Structure 1
Amino acid sequence: MKRLFPAPLLSLALWLLWLVLNVSISPGNLLLGALFAVLAPLLMAPLRPLSVQIRRPGTILRLILRVGIDVLVSNLQVARGVWSAGRRAPRSGFVHIPLELRDAHGLAALSMITTVIPGTIWSELALDRSVLLLHVFDLDDEAHFIEHFKQTYERPLMEIFE
């Protein structure tokens, strides 16, 4: 059964989406949607990422809460920086952050976190995954920023994924 339906929930969702988008439950649409729902996951199975093993679910909740708080605080800081740009230009710059995190799922989560937080942009990851290049909107102290980034985001992700 797993061979025919490698992702049964995805198949069901695709079938329902097909029917909703076609706004019809005619026999032809039911059959065509079912065919699409079965074949798409089968053809895309080689592209699916490796399964992940989460080690500390409590850390996930703390990380989500921390990211939420940082999003709010960063929004306010960026807004203040934009409004006061005439008096004091923001000191934006690129920061090289040495990484200990090597897990692909952890790095993907780190990239999403970095993208969500205003004022930071994931610019480049070294081929060996050892250094991350970030652009920061307003950078006061590079060493403090690196330590904050590693403590707040990288360490919890290492606890979760490694």
Structure 2
Amino acid sequence: MSLLKRVLPHPWLSLSMLIGWQLLMNSVSAGSLIMGAVLACLIPWLTNVFWPNPPLSCRVDRLLLFVWRVLVDILLANLQVAKLILGPRRELRPAFVEYPISLEHEFSISVLASTISLTPGTVSADISADRKTLLIHGLDVKDEQQLIEHIRRRYEQPIKEVFECSRP
């Protein structure tokens, strides 16, 4: 293992942590840059043992498009949930849906489950022992198959494209 990889085991995480730190500090000074750099190096290094099988690489262009898609979906889902909850008719159809996962890499599966939970109105509740089925709770499920296809098209397929080089 190279020295750089030992010091910065997750360079993209370190970079995003440094940027996040600077945004939290709301200023750029020598002290905040140094502290941000120390944290951005130290935290991924200390948590490296919890990343037993990290993705080998990802397509950053696809990742940015995926993040944009998720942010837009979160905004739209917030509006839909608010309409459902505050609307005059409260005819919700909550349901648990078993979602068949075609992803193979554990990190990709975690990204999918996290994305589903981030989107208001849906929560990842459980994953099967064989990592082939994800149990999802939906606040208002009209059609289970439609929800499955929506998740496959909007999230799972783009995650495959982002981490296409990270096959187990």
TM-score (norm 1): 0.70
Q: Show the 5 A alignment for 1:74-153.
A: 74-84=77-87, 87-153=89-155
| Corresponding position of 1:159 | 161
- CA deviations over 1:90-115 (Å, ceiling 9, x no partner): 11111111110011111121122112
Q: Give the Cα separation in 2 of the matches to 1:73 and 1:88.
A: 19
Deviation at 1:73, TM superposition (A): 0.7
- CA deviations over 1:44-82 (Å, ceiling 9, x no partner): 654343342234222111111110110011001110111
User: What do you get for the CA RMSD once the two structures are aligned?
Assistant: 3.0
Question: Does 2:76 align with 1:73?
Answer: yes
| Corresponding position of 1:32 | none
TM-score (norm 2): 0.68
Instruction: Name structure 2 gaps, 5 residues minimum.
Output: 19-40
| Identity level (%) | 32
Q: Give the Cα separation in 2 of the matches to 1:154 and 1:57.
A: 16
Alignment: residue pair count: 135
- CA deviations over 1:119-160 (Å, ceiling 9, x no partner): 111001111111111000111121111101001100111122
Question: Does 2:57 align with 1:64?
Answer: no
Q: Give the Cα separation in 1 of the matches to 2:126 and 2:113.
A: 10
